[in-house]
Structure 1
Amino acid sequence: MKVAIFTDTYVPQVNGVARTLQRWTGYLEKKRIPYRVYAPDMRSKEEYIDHIHRFNSVPFWLYPECRLALPNLIKIKRDLEVFRPDLIHIATPFNIGLAGLHFGKKMDIPLVGSYHTHFDQYLDYYKLSFLSPFVWKYMQWFHQSFKKTLVPSLHTKRELELHGLHNIGLWQRGVDHQLFSPDHNDGSVRNQFEIDAPILLTYVGRLAPEKGLDTLMNVAKTLPHHMNKNIHWLIVGDGPLKNHLRSVAPQNMTFAGYQDGESLARIYASSTLFIFPSATETFGNVVLESLSSGTPVVAANAGGVKEIVSHGKTGLLCTPYNPLSFTQGILGLLSDPEKLASMRKQARQEALDRSWEEIFEQLIRDYKDAIGEVKLASFA
Structure 2
Amino acid sequence: MRVALFTDTFLPDVNGVAKTLGRWTRFLESKDVACKVFAPTSMTEGDNDPFRVERFYSIPFLLYPECRLAIPNPLNVRKSLHAFQPTIIHCATPFNLGLFGLHHARKHKTPLVASYHTHFDQYLSHYKIPWVEPTLWKYMQWFHQSCQKVYVPSKSTMEHLQDKGLSHLEIWSRGVDAERFQPIVDRKSVLGTYGVDPAKFVMLYVGRLAPEKSVEVALDSFHALPATIREDCHLIIAGDGPSSGILRECYGGDPRVTFTGFVQGTQLAELYAAADVFLFPSATETFGNVVLESMASGTTVIGAAAGGVQDTIEHEVTGLLCPSGDVAAFTQAIVRLYESLETRYRLAFAGREFALRQSWDHIFNRLLTSYEEVVYRTSANPSQMHANRMIR
Same fold (TM over 0.5): yes
2:247 equivalent to 1:245: yes
Distance 1:99 1:27, change over 3 A: same
State TM-score, norm by structure 1. 0.96
Residue 71 of structure 1 corresponds to 72
- Counterpart amino acid of 1:263? Q
Residue 136 of structure 1 corresponds to 137
- Which digits, 9 at most, give the CA deviation of each residue in 1:56-95, with x for residues without a partner? 1111121112211111221111111111111000001111
Distance 1:64 1:203, change over 3 A: same
- Counterpart amino acid of 2:33? I
Residue 26 of structure 2 corresponds to 26
Residue 374 of structure 2 corresponds to 370
Residue 218 of structure 1 corresponds to 220
Residue 285 of structure 2 corresponds to 281
CA distance in 2, matches of 1:59, 1:315: 36
2:312 equivalent to 1:308: yes
Q: Tell me how far 1:375 sits from its aligned partner.
A: 4.9
1:233 equivalent among 214, 232, 235: 235
Q: Tell me how far 1:251 sits from its aligned partner.
A: 2.3
2:100 equivalent to 1:111: no
Maintained 8 Å contact 2:57/2:72: yes
- Which digits, 9 at most, give the CA deviation of each residue in 1:270-311, with x for residues without a partner? 010000000111100000000000111001100111111121
- Counterpart amino acid of 1:57? S
Distance 1:251 1:326, change over 3 A: same
Maintained 8 Å contact 2:13/2:43: no
CA RMSD for the aligned pairs? Answer: 1.5
Q: Tell me how far 1:184 sits from its aligned partner.
A: 3.2
Residue 387 of structure 2 corresponds to none
Gaps of 5+ in 2: 381-392
| SS, match of residue 159 in structure 2 | helix
CA distance in 2, matches of 1:83, 1:286: 35
CA distance in 2, matches of 1:103, 1:371: 16
2:341 equivalent to 1:337: yes
CA distance in 2, matches of 1:348, 1:211: 24
1:263 equivalent among 256, 262, 267: 267
Distance 1:224 1:353, change over 3 A: same
- Counterpart amino acid of 2:327? P
2:17 equivalent to 1:17: yes
| SS, match of residue 29 in structure 2 | helix
CA distance in 1, matches of 2:204, 2:224: 16
Distance 1:374 1:57, change over 3 A: closer
Kindly report structure 1 stretches of 4+ aligned residues shifted beyond 6 Å. Answer: none
- Which digits, 9 at most, give the CA deviation of each residue in 1:303-344, with x for residues without a partner? 111111121122100011110000001101110011111222
Distance 1:165 1:373, change over 3 A: closer
Q: Tell me how far 1:187 sits from its aligned partner.
A: 2.9
Maintained 8 Å contact 1:43/1:56: no
- Counterpart amino acid of 2:112? L
Gaps of 5+ in 1: none
- Which digits, 9 at most, give the CA deviation of each residue in 1:90-111, with x for residues without a partner? 0011111111111111122111
Maintained 8 Å contact 1:42/1:56: no
CA distance in 2, matches of 1:23, 1:67: 20
Maintained 8 Å contact 1:311/1:317: yes
Which piece of structure 1 moves more, 251-260 or 161-170? 251-260
CA distance in 1, matches of 2:107, 2:379: 19
| SS, match of residue 77 in structure 2 | helix
CA distance in 2, matches of 1:79, 1:42: 20
Maintained 8 Å contact 2:111/2:378: no
Q: Tell me how far 1:124 sits from its aligned partner.
A: 1.0
Distance 1:69 1:329, change over 3 A: same
CA distance in 2, matches of 1:265, 1:112: 33
Distance 1:228 1:114, change over 3 A: same
1:201 equivalent among 187, 203, 207: 203
CA distance in 1, matches of 2:49, 2:33: 20
1:328 equivalent among 316, 332, 340: 332
Residue 86 of structure 2 corresponds to 85
Residue 321 of structure 2 corresponds to 317
Residue 358 of structure 1 corresponds to 362
Alignment size in residue pairs: 374
Which piece of structure 1 moves more, 366-375 or 72-81? 366-375
State TM-score, norm by structure 2. 0.93
CA distance in 1, matches of 2:90, 2:205: 32
Residue 6 of structure 1 corresponds to 6
CA distance in 2, matches of 1:134, 1:373: 33
- Counterpart amino acid of 1:39? A
Residue 127 of structure 2 corresponds to 126
Aligned ranges 1:39-188 → 2 under 5 Å: 39-42=39-42, 49-188=50-189
| SS, match of residue 330 in structure 2 | helix
Residue 37 of structure 1 corresponds to 37
- Counterpart amino acid of 2:264? D
| SS, match of residue 4 in structure 2 | strand
| SS, match of residue 49 in structure 1 | coil
CA distance in 1, matches of 2:336, 2:43: 48
| SS, match of residue 53 in structure 1 | strand
Maintained 8 Å contact 1:48/1:54: no
Which piece of structure 1 moves more, 75-84 or 265-274? 75-84
